[in-house]
Structure 1
Amino acid sequence: MAIQYIWKHLWRSMNKKMNEAIRLWDDLWFREGSIITGRYRIERKLGMGSYGVAYLCLDVRSGKRCVMKRVTPIRGGTERAQFIYAKETGMLELLHHPSIPALYSKFRYRNHLCFTMEYMDGKSLDTLLFQEQYPFTERASLLLIRKLLPIVAYMHSIGILHRDISIANVVVEGEHVKLIDLGLARELAGAESAVEDALDIEADDPSEKILRRNIHVTSDYYAIGHLLLFLLYSTYNPKERAPSGTDPGWELELTLHPDTKKLLRRLLLTEQPYVDVRDIIIDVNRILLALKD
Structure 2
Amino acid sequence: MHFSYFRQFIERLCERRYPTGTVLRGRYQVVRELGMGSYGITYVAMDLQTNTQVVVKQMRTVKKKTRIESFAREANILQRLEHPQIPALYETFIEHGVPHLVMEYIDGDTVESLIFEKGKMYTEKEAFELLKRVLTVVQYIHEKGVVHRDLRIPNILLKNGHVYVIDFGLARFLYEQIPHLDTYTLEKKLRREIDVRSDIYALGHFLLFLLYSSYEPNTEEERSWEEELEISEAARSILRKMLQIDPPYRDVVELMKEIERTMEGWKKDVIVS
Number of residues paired by the alignment? Answer: 268
* Cα deviation digits, residues 74-132 of structure 1 (max 9, x gap): 5xx12112111111111111110000011001011112111100111210000001001
Q: How many angstroms does 1:14 deviate by?
A: 5.2
* Other-structure match for 1:22: 14
Contact kept, 8 Å, 1:93 with 1:103, in 2: the verdict is: yes
Q: Distance in 1 between matches of 2:136 and 2:187?
A: 24
72 and 288 in structure 1: CA distance in 2 versus 1, 3 angstrom threshold: same
Question: Does 2:235 match 1:260?
Answer: yes
* Cα deviation digits, residues 148-173 of structure 1 (max 9, x gap): 00111101111100000000000011
Name the SS of the counterpart of 1:69 in structure 2: strand
Q: Distance in 2 between matches of 1:190 and 1:107?
A: 25
Contact kept, 8 Å, 1:35 with 1:42, in 2: the verdict is: yes
Q: How many angstroms does 1:50 deviate by?
A: 1.6
* Other-structure match for 2:220: 243
Q: Distance in 2 between matches of 1:262 and 1:210?
A: 22
Paired-residue identity, %: 35
- Equivalence map 1:221-232=2 (5 Å): 221-232=200-211
- Equivalence map 1:113-262=2 (5 Å): 113-191=99-177, 194-195=178-179, 203=183, 206-238=185-217, 240=218, 242-244=219-221, 246-247=222-223, 249-262=224-237
Q: Distance in 2 between matches of 1:268 and 1:65?
A: 38
> RMSD of the TM alignment (CA)?
1.8
Contact kept, 8 Å, 1:126 with 1:167, in 2: the verdict is: yes
Q: How many angstroms does 1:211 deviate by?
A: 1.0
* Cα deviation digits, residues 220-268 of structure 1 (max 9, x gap): 0000000000000111112x2x334x32x11111111111110000000
Q: How many angstroms does 1:19 deviate by?
A: 2.0
Match of 1:110 among 84, 92, 96: 96
Q: Distance in 2 between matches of 1:287 and 1:73?
A: 48
Q: Distance in 1 between matches of 2:89 and 2:95?
A: 17
Contact kept, 8 Å, 2:54 with 2:103, in 1: the verdict is: yes
* Cα deviation digits, residues 21-69 of structure 1 (max 9, x gap): 221xx11xx1101111110011100111121100001101011111000
Q: Distance in 2 between matches of 1:275 and 1:71?
A: 35
Question: Does 2:55 match 1:67?
Answer: yes
Match of 1:100 among 71, 86, 109: 86
Q: Distance in 1 between matches of 2:251 and 2:83?
A: 20
* Other-structure match for 1:42: 30
Q: Distance in 2 between matches of 1:151 and 1:130?
A: 24
* Other-structure match for 2:246: 271
Q: Distance in 2 between matches of 1:114 and 1:57?
A: 12
Match of 1:81 among 67, 79, 95: 67
Contact kept, 8 Å, 1:73 with 1:80, in 2: the verdict is: no
* Cα deviation digits, residues 203-228 of structure 1 (max 9, x gap): 4x543222110111110000000000
* Other-structure match for 1:3: none
Gaps of 5+ in 1: 1-8
Question: Does 2:233 match 1:282?
Answer: no
Q: Distance in 2 between matches of 1:157 and 1:213?
A: 18
Name the SS of the counterpart of 2:45 in structure 1: strand
Q: How many angstroms does 1:287 deviate by?
A: 1.6
Gaps of 5+ in 2: none
Q: How many angstroms does 1:18 deviate by?
A: 3.4
Q: Distance in 2 between matches of 1:35 and 1:226?
A: 39
Question: Does 2:81 match 1:55?
Answer: no
Higher helix residue share: 1
Q: Distance in 1 between matches of 2:76 and 2:41?
A: 18
